[in-house]
Each structure stands twice: as C-alpha cells, then as structure tokens.
Amino acid sequence: MTKGNTVLLDESKMAMSECGKLLKEISTSCCMPERSPKMTEAFTQIDSILLNLDLAYHSSEDVHNSIENIGSFGSMIGFLYATCCTKTREPLYQKMYKEMNNAHGKLWQYMGHSH
C-alpha cells in the first residue's frame, strides 16, 4: 500500500471526532423525539467512520471506506439539518460540514490526490 503522511490521517480523525462532538451537542438539544432514529443512525455512521480511520493506518481500503462513509454521513447530516426546527443549531451543522470537508480532503491527500 502506498502511504502518505500519517499526520493527514490523524488530522482527518480529529476532524471527524469533532463532528461526533457537534452531533452530540445537536442531539442533546433536539426537541423532536421522532428524529431519534435518524440521530441514532448518524451516531452509528460516525462510529463506523472513526473505526475505519483507526484501521486506515494499515489499509488503503479502509481509507477509501472512510471517504465513502463521510459522503454518506454528510447526506444524513443534510437530512437532519434540513429538518431542524430552529436556526440556533445552524452554526453547529455548518461547522460539522467544514470538519467533514476537511477530513475528506485530508484522506484524499493521504492517498496522493490533492489540488
């Protein structure tokens, strides 16, 4: 496997860990119990991404899985963001998207693709 700088993996993992913290903050302030299954699914996705990032130090397949899973996670967060009933959480969602984009870009850089 061709490996890039593992600092990029570290930074990607830190960004996705921050997404997990932001998701927790959003979840604890949510007033709509019917959103719980979607929130639970989002937490499951973030856990999966973080596990793949742990494994990515040894396998480019796990890097690619992380890249794909970040896209899926972004879709889930988009649903939650679009259906949120208050603008007070908007900055949290926006920061989460920035963190996802940062992690995604670092993973591609790690694989040797950058702009």
Domains, the chain, with CATH or none: 6-110 (1.20.1440)
CA 37 to chain centre: 18
Q: Say what the pLDDT of residue 2 is.
A: 46
The span from the CA of 109 to the CA of 74, in Å, is: 19
**Which letter, b or e, does each residue of 5-32 get, where b requires 16 or more Cβ atoms within 10 Å of its Cβ?**
eeebbebbbebbbbbbebbeebeeebee
Low-confidence ranges of the chain (pLDDT < 70): 1-4, 33-35, 115
**Which letter, b or e, does each residue of 72-99 get, where b requires 16 or more Cβ atoms within 10 Å of its Cβ?**
ebbebbeebbeebeeeebeebbeebeeb
Q: Say what the pLDDT of residue 4 is.
A: 64
pTM: 0.90
Tens digit of pLDDT for each residue in 81-102?
998 888 889 999 999 999 999 9
